[in-house]
Amino acid sequence: MRLALQQIPLNLIKEAHERIKQDILRTPLLKLNTSDTTNQIYLKCENLQPIGSFKLRGAGNAMKMTDPVLLEDGVWTASAGNMAQGVGWYARKLSIESTIVVPDHAPSAKLEAIAKLGSEILKVPFEEWIEILKTHHKDGMEGLFIHPFANPNVMAGNGTIGLEIIEDLPDVDIIIIPYGGGGLSCGIASAIRQLKPDTQIFASEVSTAAPLKASLEAKKPIDIQYTPSFVDGIGAPNIFEEIWPLVNQLLDDSKVVTLQEVVDVLRSLILENNIIAEGAGASSVAAALNLPDEGKKIICVISGGNIDTHKIVKILNGITP
């Protein structure tokens, strides 16, 4: 039986930052070019990481903390793409083998990136993939399993984003974080709750896959009707029960946006801000633009920028991929 996940102590997040700082980019905080709100919206651009995603932080911390003996048989993870690249990137750096179990709807851009890193790819039905995330197990797999979000060392690595946010904008009022499995939001929130506890911390979800909002309203984890979309980096049929207590403790609410709102934001980010984001990353900006105009300082985490080229073309033409 696994121990319940707890808020990550600040000292462990600071140690993680020292551990990975030579490998990651300390991403900039850029002001959003917009006239649609009196709020000051800033972008934490994790799409600029070497793999185009924040996942490098958590994967790196977890793997660099592990006894090298335990890495001799390689590593594996279950990921739709970004954690896969984080694990694959560090596996190549450490000269060990890596295997990535991906769901059958994983986008081609992310699969190509995984293959370039030298990882072996194993595609499974979406339902089986979700079960691996729940059980942390798959028959026949060898090596160390790096859970993409329900892992304290992964969350500590993610929490380093929170340290950088407070260094760059100490009077931030609101932080909005794309919600997939909860590892990013809980990692960042762990740092923020210890550094600036009065900050409001919201998740962002899309209306086609928003289990967190439904669970927060029900005050317990519940299943929802899940519809896959081009916003593939977030969303699931349910909240994972092992992370639910921590999510419920650390986050104030979830802000749900439509697919059309994400498309509009992606187009604006490209044309007006010269930023390539994926749907998950843009969801935080869409959520920020829906908040009341109150002169708040808001930070949106752009969690990743790995998006298929053909989707970008459609988005630039105002079409939902």
SS (H, E, C) the chain: CCCCCCCCCHHHHHHHHHHHCCCCCCCCEEECCCCCCCCEEEEEEHHHCCCCECHHHHHHHHHHHCCHHHHCCCEEEECCCHHHHHHHHHHHHHCCCEEEEEECCCCHHHHHHHHHCCCEEEEECHHHHHHHHHHCCCCCCCCEECCCCCCHHHHHHHHHHHHHHHHHCCCCCEEEEECCCCHHHHHHHHHHHHHCCCCEEEEEEECCECHHHHHHHHCCCCCCCCCCCCCCCCCCCCCCCCCHHHHHHHCCEEEEECHHHHHHHHHHHHHHHCCCCCHHHHHHHHHHHCCCCCCCEEEEEECECCCCHHHHHHHHCCCCC
Do 139 and 248 belong to one domain? Answer: no
Do 252 and 180 belong to one domain? Answer: yes
pLDDT tens-place values along the chain, 321 residues long: 566 789 999 999 999 999 999 999 999 999 999 988 999 999 999 999 999 999 999 999 999 999 999 999 999 999 977 899 999 999 999 999 999 999 888 878 788 889 999 999 999 998 999 899 999 999 999 899 999 999 999 999 999 999 999 999 999 999 999 999 999 999 999 999 999 999 999 999 999 999 999 999 999 999 999 998 999 889 889 999 899 999 999 999 999 999 999 999 999 999 999 999 999 999 999 999 999 999 999 999 999 999 989 999 999 998 999
Do 305 and 261 belong to one domain? Answer: yes
Do 91 and 156 belong to one domain? Answer: no
Do 160 and 243 belong to one domain? Answer: yes
Do 199 and 311 belong to one domain? Answer: yes
Do 224 and 160 belong to one domain? Answer: yes
Do 63 and 46 belong to one domain? Answer: no
CATH number, domain with residue 112 = 3.40.50.1100
Domain-ending residue, one of 125, 145, 165? 145
What b-and-e string marks burial along 112-129, b requiring 16 or more CB atoms within 10 Å of the CB? ebbeebebeeeebebeeb
Token pair recorded at residue 20: 């990975």
Do 84 and 102 belong to one domain? Answer: yes
Do 293 and 273 belong to one domain? Answer: yes
Domain-ending residue, one of 86, 121, 145? 145
Domain-ending residue, one of 145, 170, 196? 145
Do 50 and 98 belong to one domain? Answer: no
User: Rounded to an integer, what distance in angstroms lies between the CA atom of residue 225 and that of residue 237?
Assistant: 6
Q: Which domain holds residue 239?
A: 10-54+152-316
User: Rounded to an integer, what distance in angstroms lies between the CA atom of residue 22 and that of residue 17?
Assistant: 9
